[in-house]
Amino acid sequence: MIINYIKMDKIFECNLEDVIRIVSCAIIIYALIIVYIRTLGKRSTSELNNFDWIVTVSVGSIVASTVVLKDISIIKGGVGILILLLLQYLVTKAMYASDKIRELIKSTPQLLLFEGEFIDENMKKERILKPEVYAAIRQEGLKSIKQIYAVVLETNSKISVIPNENSDEIGFSLSDVQGLPEGLKNDLESKNED
């Protein structure tokens, strides 16, 4: 049996020294993260895109390892977190300065439904199923896809639903979305030039 291979006394083993170390590490790492975020900006904890998500998960892993594992010192954990947040800061600055770097690193929003019609090619590319789109529509309190102007898969993997308000104005919020119908794309580009 599996139980025979596990030393049961190790599962619940804990001494005062371990508890003091965990509590001390948690407090110090928590304080370091606050200092880093205040210094490097709020983006460090945002859900803006997959790049930010990777950094957030990595920082969480380092925090957990530093707090719980004896082999990782506060200095090692703190430096690891600082390096990740500095890299994120530098890469986001580079994305702001260069369109090519932005295109390489950051994904773009994708149109999934437009004026009541699913864009099957985009949905297949993004691996989004119709039931997922229907769920997003229900969360907005809408009954029918005919009530929808557009549904967009955002860069943070959330689905945005834009209701159809029977307005003749073109939706400028779609100007950076990929997969637009050709006529709409041309209309948005001409409106943005005005």
For 156-172, write each residue's pLDDT tens digit: 778 999 988 765 555 55
Q: pTM score > 0.85 for this model?
A: no
For 63: left if phi > 0, alpha if psi spans -120 to 50, otherwise beta; the answer is: alpha
Is residue 103 pLDDT above 70, yes or no? yes
Percent of the chain with pLDDT over 90: 11
Domain range 110-193, its CATH number among 3.40.50.720, 3.30.565.10, 3.30.240.20, 3.40.50.12780: 3.30.240.20
Radius of gyration over every alpha carbon of the chain, rounded to an integer in angstroms: 24
Is residue 73 pLDDT above 60, yes or no? yes
Q: Report how far residue 176's alpha carbon sits from residue 110's, in angstroms, rounded to the nearest whole number.
A: 9
Question: Residues 178-188: pLDDT tens digits?
Answer: 777 776 666 66
Contact 51, 107 (CB under 8 A): no
All structural domains of the chain with their residue ranges: 2-104, 110-193
User: Across residues 10-17, what is the average pLDDT?
Assistant: 71
Tokens linked to 76: 């090692």
User: Across residues 71-91, what is the average pLDDT?
Assistant: 88
Contact 23, 68 (CB under 8 A): no
| Residue showing tokens 């380092």 | 62
Tokens linked to 14: 């804990």
